[in-house]
Amino acid sequence: MQLADLYYENGSLVSKFKGPNLKKVNDILYKLFIGSEIKKGFSFQTKYKNSSDLRPNVIDYDECFIKVLFESKVHNLIFDCLGADYLLSHIQIRKLEAGNTYLDWHRDSYNYGKKVGDFPPAHKIIYHPLFKGISNNSKLVVSRSSQLKMYNSKISDFFHNFITINRNKRDFYFPSNSKFLLFNGSAFHKVCSDHKPSICLIYNFLRKNQLQKGSPRYTTLSEKTYLAYEKILLN
């Protein structure tokens, strides 16, 4: 119960990938990072300033990106921490250029009079490998427990979470060749500015009923992703 307790309260935790597919994941990410090799039919396209994502998707790029989750028992971690029917809904590979952050402090899900994002919130895994040429500065920071301290206007939400009591309660995630960060997407978080480029792997998890046809998040890609994950989960 300790892990679930910590994750519930803090809104993030660091854990480790392991197993034979971790090496494959790192090899592929390294080749994509230095630009030495990319499979035919795939490319990086810019979404936010200073960042680009692998298109058309990650799930068809290599099955190591799903296998590493099970070899690392991430499905058990998700079950322990969330205790519900959360499934993998999306995988992204994102390249970040040196320079200013592309996303300052924000919640992925909030309601300042109108709901934005996923409800219940998505939970995400972010993994930044530490290759030659990548700085060891923190890559993401989460405002601790902010997922439990939501206010109904942008001004009061920022005021209570940053200007007063919670100003110094922050959890930083540093790059590593095995450590990842699991975090609640409704907690305040930001991508750290960096003076060197980097690459990251992002996994999204949502409740099964949020992924069904007719739900706002439903796409043929999210369906394909959760079915691939569920297939291994149920075997």
Pick between residue 53 and residue 108 the one whose CB is nearest to Fe ion. Answer: 108
**Stretch touching Fe ion by CB under 5 A, among 9-17, 100-108, 143-151, 155-163:** 100-108
Among 102, 97, 125, 138, CA closest to 25: 125
What residues contact residue 227 under an 8 Å CB cut-off, 6+ apart? none
Pick between residue 121 and residue 129 the one whose CB is nearest to Fe ion. Answer: 121
Pick between residue 21 and residue 146 the one whose CB is nearest to Fe ion. Answer: 146
Smallest distance from Fe ion to CB 189, Å:
6
| Cα distance between residue 59 and residue 90, in whole Å | 8
Pick between residue 204 and residue 210 the one whose CB is nearest to Fe ion. Answer: 204
What residues contact residue 84 under an 8 Å CB cut-off, 6+ apart? 207
Smallest distance from Fe ion to CB 94, Å:
11
Pick between residue 73 and residue 217 the one whose CB is nearest to Fe ion. Answer: 217
Find tokens 């920071």 and name the residue.
141
**Stretch touching Fe ion by CB under 5 A, among 65-73, 103-111, 112-120, 170-178:** 103-111
Q: Which residue is nearest to Fe ion (CB)?
A: 108
**What does the CA dihedral 86, 88, 94, 100 come to, rounded to 10 degrees?**
-10
The site for Fe ion, by CB under 5 A, has a size of: 1
Smallest distance from Fe ion to CB 16, Å:
22
Class of residue 44 by CB neighbours under 10 A (exposed 0-12, middle 13-18, buried 19+): middle
Enter the tokens of residue 109: 């899900």
Find tokens 């994002």 and name the residue.
117
Enter the tokens of residue 203: 């996994």
Smallest distance from Fe ion to CB 185, Å:
6
Smallest distance from Fe ion to CB 140, Å:
9
Pick between residue 119 and residue 131 the one whose CB is nearest to Fe ion. Answer: 119
Give the footprint of Fe ion on residues 173-202 (CB under 5 A). none
CB atoms within 10 A of CB 40: 5
Give the footprint of Fe ion on residues 105-124 (CB under 5 A). 108
Radius of gyration of the chain (CA): 17
Q: Which residues bind Fe ion (CB under 5 A)?
A: 108
